[in-house]
Amino acid sequence: MPTLDVLIPTCDRPAALAVTLTSLCAQTLTSPGGRPFRVVVSDQGDTPATEAGELRAAVRVLRAHGHEVELHRHLPRRGLAEQRHYLLAQARAEQLLCLDDDLLLEPWVVAQMTGALAREGCGFVGSAVIGLSLIDSVRPHQQRVEWWPGRVEPERVEPGSAAWLRHELHNAANLWHVQRALGLGPADTRCYKIAWVGGCVLYDAAKLRAVGGFGFWTELPREHCGEDVLAQLRVMARFGGCGLMPSGVYHLELPTTVPNREVDAPRVLPVEPAAPHVP
Average pLDDT over residues 120-124: 97
Nearest CA among 201, 228, 234 for reference residue 126: 201
CA 274 to the chain's CA centroid? 24
Phi, psi (rounded to 5 degrees) for 145: -120, 135
Mean pLDDT of 87-111: 97
Q: What is the CATH architecture of 4-268?
A: Alpha-Beta Complex (3.90)
User: Is 261 a residue whose pLDDT tops 70?
Assistant: yes
Query: E strands of 76-214, at which residues?
Result: 95-99, 103-105, 124-126, 129-130, 190-192, 200-204
Look at residue 256 in the predicted model and tell me its pLDDT. 84
- What does the domain layout of the chain look like in residue ranges? 4-268
Residue 257 pLDDT: 83
pLDDT digits (tens, 9 = 90+) for 68-98: 999 999 999 999 999 999 999 999 999 999 9
Question: DSSP secondary-structure letter at 272?
Answer: S
DSSP 30-82: --GGGPPPEEEEEE--SS-GGG-HHHHHHHHHHHHTT--EEEEE--S---HHH
pLDDT tens digit string along 161-201? Answer: 999 999 999 999 999 999 999 999 999 999 999 999 999 99
pLDDT in tens, 210-244: 999 999 999 999 999 999 999 999 999 999 999 99
Q: Which residues pair with 5 in a beta bridge?
A: 38, 96
List pLDDT tens digits, range 19-37. Answer: 999 999 999 875 555 678 9
**pLDDT of amino acid 36:** 87
pLDDT at 278 over 50: no
Give CA separation, 231 vs 14, 129, 204, in Å. 26, 18, 12
Confidence of residue 259 (pLDDT cuts 50, 70, 90): confident
Q: How many residues does the chain have?
A: 279
Contacts of 161 (CB under 8 A, 6+ apart): none
Which residue type does 206 have?
A: A
Q: Residue 72: name the closest of 58, 89, 94 by CA.
A: 89
pLDDT digits (tens, 9 = 90+) for 129-149: 999 999 999 999 999 999 999
Residues 91-115: what's their mean pLDDT? Answer: 96
Under 8 Å between Cβ of 95 and 141: no
**pLDDT, averaged across the chain:** 94
Is the pLDDT reported for residue 265 higher than 50? yes
Has this prediction a pTM greater than 0.85? yes
Residue type, 89: A
